């Protein structure tokens, strides 16, 4: 499968959404930061320029050489991208009189081409501070709104389009239709599906790995299991899987995960390395430092274990796209580093094994679909995501064995009760967090000064954005009672009601 839609990212918060929409329409999409873009490849059948928090009038406004793209392949530019092309064509881009965020109504000039089947007066979503003042020369107007005249334009005799609003967000009623129309203009065959992903990935893995041996880290979660399955399908017994107990897993997790893997046909070895992890984390309070130490310790353990197996050349990882995106400016991308996900940002440069990551371009829900297509068990596919650094980033501040025990017990009560009440599968991710400070309480007739446990449960589709779950009060009340009564050292339970953004799912 060769056809690719290339998305050039100028740092927009919506870039991943563009990629998702395109894939939902069965076209493979790839994102490249604007400053890494050099040329289009022979597989590129269309390009989308993203928005940006910057203004084209800024001194160091991000840009690319548009002559590389224009007239070679169809080009759709969104928000900042549309302003950039207009600016290059000599049109004025000026600050909007009032900043335009949120809903607006579109008035299309004709319902053909890019706007085929898009209803007039339908809702579109705006998010911009600048506006295109006049229609760029050589262009024709495609759409306006009540507030702005140049809401969409096309360069005459060229498949280059500019749209001021955001077709990639759900709130733009016909946004998906507009993107679909663009993909038709590019002439995509729309053959990117889970099955085609599996087929092309296995082929690529075979070519890349040849007869080499791979050591794959399994975590029990969906990402590493699906990645291992794909590798197994590609190289069979040349894949050795290793499941490391880092001491930061949930209560009973090590044994239950091993039991789950039993009849999957993979070559699995387990290693208890808890002591090394806990020792390396001693005295560490900074979340980024914790992540990096855990990443480095994983690699150290893997490097050491790889000596047990002969001729290992590669380290397999279940890295997925949000891990890459949220760590991206660690490697120079235009968006902010939110967190260094341990399997991306935390790898030491001198690692002896080369890294192979078959799911690096997929979102979580896409990984799940691939997992279903591979017939992997429901228990594994539907498990809540769990971060690689484990409970270390759910204990605020320094980690020790006693705090780990408290958190494991509290988390076990929470998750078990979610399952018992039939709520587990309606929640995207849940877990308990142990806060750093103690608070005063009263138990029996005595004063207590003990820890606080926060409960977090979120709804999401891909982990990039999330909202807190409105769990029933009775459920929360029961969990709180159980934790305070059964877990020594806890006298208070709170529920996290923050969305992402502005918060993140994990607390560290
Ligand atoms: P945040 O906290 O960034 O989490 O909103 C988004 C998703 O990513 C998981 N997460 C991680 N996964 N290594 C991982 O493998 C990490 O370092 C890491 N940090 C967060 C988190 O559990 C959520 O599903």
Q: Provide the pLDDT for residue 340.
A: 56
Give CA–CA dist 228/358, Å, rounded: 9
Give the model's confidence band at 230: pLDDT under 50 very low, under 70 low, under 90 confident, else very high.
very high
User: Phi and psi dihedrals of 45, rounded to 5?
Assistant: -105, -5
Give CA–CA dist 383/451, Å, rounded: 28
The finding on whether 343 has its CB within 6 A of some atom of ligand 1 is yes
Is the pLDDT at 465 greater than 60? The verdict is yes
User: Phi and psi dihedrals of 181, rounded to 5?
Assistant: -60, -40
203, 190 Cβ separation under 8 angstroms? no
Q: Provide the pLDDT for residue 334.
A: 45
Give the model's confidence band at 263: pLDDT under 50 very low, under 70 low, under 90 confident, else very high.
confident
Q: Provide the pLDDT for residue 406.
A: 98
Give CA–CA dist 321/462, Å, rounded: 10
Among 109-123, 255-269, 417-431, 436-450, the minimum mean pLDDT is found in: 255-269
Q: Provide the pLDDT for residue 348.
A: 47
Q: Provide the pLDDT for residue 100.
A: 65
Nearest CA owner, ligand 1 atom 9: 387
Q: Who has greater pLDDT, 363 or 136?
A: 136
Question: Which residue from 324, 353, 351, 352 is spatially nearest to 339, judged by alpha carbons?
Answer: 324
Give CA–CA dist 12/179, Å, rounded: 17
Give CA–CA dist 51/101, Å, rounded: 14
- The structure tokens listed for 506 are 């994990």
Give CA–CA dist 77/82, Å, rounded: 5
Helix residue ranges per DSSP H, 169-312 = 175-186, 194-209, 222-235, 253-261, 274-280, 287-306
With b for 16 or more beta-carbon neighbours within 10 A and e for fewer, the 57-74 pattern comes to: eeeebbebebeebbeebb
Task: Kindly give the distance from the C-alpha atom of residue 385 to the centroid of ligand 1, in angstroms, as a whole number.
Answer: 8
Task: Kindly give the distance from the C-alpha atom of residue 437 to the centroid of ligand 1, in angstroms, as a whole number.
Answer: 23
Q: Is 353 exposed, middle or buried (0-12, 13-18, 19+ CB in 10 A)?
A: middle
Collapsed DSSP state (helix, strand, coil) of residue 135 = coil
CA angle 73, 79, 85 (to 5 degrees): 50
The finding on whether 318 has its CB within 6 A of some atom of ligand 1 is no
Mean pLDDT of 375-403: 93
The finding on whether 368 has its CB within 6 A of some atom of ligand 1 is no
To test ligand 1's pocket by mutation, which of 250, 319, 323 has the most ligand atoms within 8 angstroms of CB?
323
For residue 339, the ligand 1 atom closest to its alpha carbon is 3
For residue 341, the ligand 1 atom closest to its alpha carbon is 17
For residue 500, the ligand 1 atom closest to its alpha carbon is 5
Nearest CA owner, ligand 1 atom 24: 385
Give CA–CA dist 505/508, Å, rounded: 9
Q: Provide the pLDDT for residue 304.
A: 87
To test ligand 1's pocket by mutation, which of 277, 341, 363, 386 has the most ligand atoms within 8 angstroms of CB?
341
To test ligand 1's pocket by mutation, which of 367, 387, 507 has the most ligand atoms within 8 angstroms of CB?
387
Task: Kindly give the distance from the C-alpha atom of residue 390 to the centroid of ligand 1, in angstroms, as a whole number.
Answer: 9
Mean pLDDT of 147-152: 92
Give the model's confidence band at 128: pLDDT under 50 very low, under 70 low, under 90 confident, else very high.
confident
Nearest CA owner, ligand 1 atom 20: 387
Is the pLDDT at 317 greater than 70? The verdict is yes
Helix residue ranges per DSSP H, 33-166 = 80-88
Q: Who has greater pLDDT, 477 or 445?
A: 477
- Enumerate the active-site residues: 79, 166, 168
Beta strands 160-163 and 75-78, pairing class: parallel
Is the pLDDT at 350 greater than 60? The verdict is no
Task: Kindly give the distance from the C-alpha atom of residue 464 to the centroid of ligand 1, in angstroms, as a whole number.
Answer: 9
Q: Who has greater pLDDT, 252 or 321?
A: 252
Q: Provide the pLDDT for residue 466.
A: 87
Is the pLDDT at 419 greater than 50? The verdict is yes
Mean pLDDT of 90-102: 80
Among 109-118, 161-170, 306-315, the minimum mean pLDDT is found in: 306-315
Mean pLDDT of 339-352: 52
Residue-wise pLDDT for 48-79, tens only, equals 999 998 999 999 999 999 999 999 999 999 99
Count of alpha carbons within 13 angstroms of residue 270, beta-carbon side: 16
Give the model's confidence band at 329: pLDDT under 50 very low, under 70 low, under 90 confident, else very high.
very low
The finding on whether 384 has its CB within 6 A of some atom of ligand 1 is no
Mean pLDDT of 273-286: 97
Cα torsion angle, 343, 348, 350, 351, sign? negative
Is the pLDDT at 35 greater than 90? The verdict is yes
For residue 318, the ligand 1 atom closest to its alpha carbon is 15
Q: Average pLDDT of the chain?
A: 90
Task: Kindly give the distance from the C-alpha atom of residue 498 to the centroid of ligand 1, in angstroms, as a whole number.
Answer: 16
Mean pLDDT of 419-429: 96
Task: Kindly give the distance from the C-alpha atom of residue 14 to the centroid of ligand 1, in angstroms, as a whole number.
Answer: 19
The finding on whether 504 has its CB within 6 A of some atom of ligand 1 is yes
Cα torsion angle, 447, 448, 453, 454, sign? positive
Is the pLDDT at 241 greater than 90? The verdict is yes
Nearest CA owner, ligand 1 atom 10: 387
The finding on whether 387 has its CB within 6 A of some atom of ligand 1 is yes
Q: Provide the pLDDT for residue 288.
A: 94
Task: Kindly give the distance from the C-alpha atom of residue 175 to the centroid of ligand 1, in angstroms, as a whole number.
Answer: 29
Is the pLDDT at 367 greater than 60? The verdict is yes
Task: Kindly give the distance from the C-alpha atom of residue 382 to the centroid of ligand 1, in angstroms, as a whole number.
Answer: 17
Give the model's confidence band at 292: pLDDT under 50 very low, under 70 low, under 90 confident, else very high.
very high
Give the model's confidence band at 98: pLDDT under 50 very low, under 70 low, under 90 confident, else very high.
low
393, 506 Cβ separation under 8 angstroms? yes
Give the model's confidence band at 339: pLDDT under 50 very low, under 70 low, under 90 confident, else very high.
low
Give the model's confidence band at 345: pLDDT under 50 very low, under 70 low, under 90 confident, else very high.
very low
Question: Which residue from 247, 245, 246, 248 is spatially nearest to 258, judged by alpha carbons?
Answer: 245
Q: Is 420 exposed, middle or buried (0-12, 13-18, 19+ CB in 10 A)?
A: exposed
- The structure tokens listed for 317 are 């990882």
Q: Provide the pLDDT for residue 331.
A: 32
Mean pLDDT of 286-299: 92
Q: Provide the pLDDT for residue 72.
A: 97
The finding on whether 291 has its CB within 6 A of some atom of ligand 1 is yes
Helix residue ranges per DSSP H, 281-393 = 287-306, 321-326, 364-373, 378-381
The finding on whether 388 has its CB within 6 A of some atom of ligand 1 is yes
Nearest CA owner, ligand 1 atom 22: 387
Q: What is this structure's pTM? A: 0.72
For residue 295, the ligand 1 atom closest to its alpha carbon is 17
The finding on whether 221 has its CB within 6 A of some atom of ligand 1 is no
Is the pLDDT at 26 greater than 70? The verdict is yes
Which helix (H) or strand (E) segment holds residue 268: the answer is strand 268-272
Is the pLDDT at 323 greater than 80? The verdict is no
Cβ neighbours of 285 (radius 10 Å): 13
For residue 504, the ligand 1 atom closest to its alpha carbon is 5
- The structure tokens listed for 225 are 């299991």
CA angle 500, 454, 481 (to 5 degrees): 135
Is the pLDDT at 275 greater than 80? The verdict is yes
416, 447 Cβ separation under 8 angstroms? no
139, 153 Cβ separation under 8 angstroms? yes
């Amino acid at each position: 499968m060769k056809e690719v839609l290339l998305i050039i990212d100028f740092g927009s918060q919506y870039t991943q959404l563009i990629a998702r929409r395109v894939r939902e329409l069965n076209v493979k999409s790839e994102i490249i930061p604007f400053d890494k873009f050099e040329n289009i490849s022979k597989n590129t059948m269309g390009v989308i320029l993203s928005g940006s928090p910057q203004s084209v009038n800024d001194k160091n406004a991000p840009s690319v050489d548009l002559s590389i793209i224009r007239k070679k392949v169809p080009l759709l530019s969104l928000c900042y991208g549309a302003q950039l092309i207009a600016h290059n064509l000599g049109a004025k881009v000026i600050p909007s009189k009032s900043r335009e965020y949120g809903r607006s109504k579109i008035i299309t000039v004709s319902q053909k081409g890019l706007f085929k089947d898009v209803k007039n007066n339908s809702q579109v979503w705006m998010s911009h501070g600048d506006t295109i003042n006049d229609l760029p020369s050589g262009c024709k107007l495609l759409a306006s709104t009540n507030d702005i005249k140049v809401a969409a334009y096309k360069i005459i005799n060229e498949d280059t389009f500019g749209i001021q609003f955001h077709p990639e967000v759900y709130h733009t009623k016909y946004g998906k239709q507009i993107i679909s129309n663009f993909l038709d203009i590019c002439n995509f065959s729309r053959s990117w599906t889970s099955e085609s992903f599996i087929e092309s990935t296995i082929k690529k893995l075979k070519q890349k790995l040849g007869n080499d041996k791979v050591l794959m880290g399994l975590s029990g979660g969906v990402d590493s299991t699906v990645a291992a399955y794909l590798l197994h399908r590609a190289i069979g017994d040349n894949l050795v899987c290793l499941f490391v107990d880092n001491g930061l897993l949930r209560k009973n997790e090590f044994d239950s995960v091993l039991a789950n893997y039993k009849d999957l046909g993979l070559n699995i070895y387990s290693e208890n390395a808890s002591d090394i992890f806990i020792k390396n984390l001693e005295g560490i309070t900074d979340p980024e430092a914790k992540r990096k130490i855990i990443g480095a310790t994983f690699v150290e353990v893997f490097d050491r274990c790889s000596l047990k197996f002969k001729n290992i050349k590669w380290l397999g990882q279940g890295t997925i796209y949000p891990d890459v995106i949220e760590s991206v400016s660690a490697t120079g991308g235009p968006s902010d580093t939110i967190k260094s996900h341990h399997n991306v940002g935390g790898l030491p440069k001198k690692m002896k094994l080369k890294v192979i990551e078959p799911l690096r371009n997929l979102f979580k829900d896409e990984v799940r679909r691939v997992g279903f297509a591979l017939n992997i068990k429901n228990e594994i596919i539907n498990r809540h995501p769990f971060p690689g650094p484990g409970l270390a980033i759910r204990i605020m501040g320094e980690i020790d064995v006693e705090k780990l025990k408290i958190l494991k017990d509290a988390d076990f009560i929470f998750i078990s009760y979610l399952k018992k009440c039939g709520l587990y599968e309606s929640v995207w991710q849940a877990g308990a967090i142990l806060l750093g400070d103690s608070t005063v309480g009263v138990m029996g007739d005595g004063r207590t000064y003990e820890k606080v446990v926060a409960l977090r449960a979120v709804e999401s589709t891909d982990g990039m954005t999330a909202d807190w779950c409105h769990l029933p009060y009775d459920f929360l009340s029961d969990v709180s009672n159980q934790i305070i009564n059964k877990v020594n050292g806890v006298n208070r339970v709170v529920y996290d009601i923050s969305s992402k953004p502005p918060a993140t799912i994990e607390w560290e």
